[in-house]
Amino acid sequence: MVETYKSTSNPMMNRPVVKAELVEWMRSSQTQVTGELAEVLNFAKENNIPVIPHETVLYFQMLLSLLKPKRILEIGTAIGFSALVMAQEVPEAEIVTIDRNPEMIELAKKNLAKYDHRNQIQLKEGDAADVLQELKGPFDLVFMDSAKSKYVEFLPKSLELLSENGLILMDDVFQAGEILLPIMEVKRNQRALERGLRKLFDEVFDNPKYMTSVLPLGDGLLMIKKH
């Protein structure tokens, strides 16, 4: 044992830190979105539409300011909030976003018509598995926030479309911790989702072809980069 820490080991190393009150602190104490983004966000909250949480918004803003991607692909538009966040941060970027939900598509179209002032965002309608086959790369950033069970299916084509130093982000991979449960303890209607995520983890974790990192932002954000 290293003598320096023999009697003064750091208890912080082995205790969880992402507690509910800390999440609330992260979401309330940091700079809030304003203006047009706030209008879209408030609509989402009022109508119970899931969008990326505030800590993820701030992370995206910082990451995008560093990466400065020229082309971004988003799988899962919803009402267009995250696409608008990205467009605001990198005004020179081209953003392609995909969704198949008719109601979300109509809401996204209204938001993009109203707030996408530079016409950066191109909305593709249809199943992502089909639309991906039609796209041409490279994309510097791919963000998935759609059917979690399909992430592993979208991965090969996303990697093919990814630029040499590009990054893939996949949202909501923790599933409130259910990824830790034995599969038979997961609710039956959630098992396909869980199996898809676990297949994804098996594919990318400890795979020499990829660098991965899982961040405790929102319900878990998985980052993948090609070696």
In sequence order, the 6+-apart residues with CB closer than 8 A to the CB of 213 are 222, 223
User: b/e for 172-189, b at 16 or more Cβ within 10 A?
Assistant: bbbbeebbeeeeeebeee
Q: Which of 224, 138, 149, 225 is nearest to 193 (CA)?
A: 149
Q: Over the stretch 48-79, which tens digit does the pLDDT of each residue have?
A: 999 999 999 999 999 999 999 999 999 999 99
Question: For residue 10, is it within any domain?
Answer: no
Owning domain of residue 217: 18-226
What is the H or E stretch that residue 164 is in? strand 162-171
In whole angstroms, give the CA distance from residue 61 to residue 52. Answer: 12
pLDDT, mean of residues 201-225: 96
- What pLDDT, on a 0 to 100 scale, did the predictor assign at position 19? 87
Q: Over the stretch 115-135, which tens digit does the pLDDT of each residue have?
A: 999 999 999 999 999 999 999
Question: For residue 11, is it within any domain?
Answer: no
For tokens 């979300």, the residue is: 104
Question: For residue 5, is it within any domain?
Answer: no
In whole angstroms, give the CA distance from residue 57 to residue 215. Answer: 13
> What's the total number of domains in the chain?
1
* Residues in binding site for S-adenosyl-L-methionine: 52, 82, 99, 127-128, 145
For position 91, which CATH number holds?
3.40.50.150
Question: For residue 63, is it within any domain?
Answer: yes
* Residues in binding site: 52, 82, 99, 127-128, 145
In whole angstroms, give the CA distance from residue 134 to residue 121. Answer: 17
Question: For residue 39, is it within any domain?
Answer: yes
pTM, full prediction: 0.93
Question: For residue 76, is it within any domain?
Answer: yes
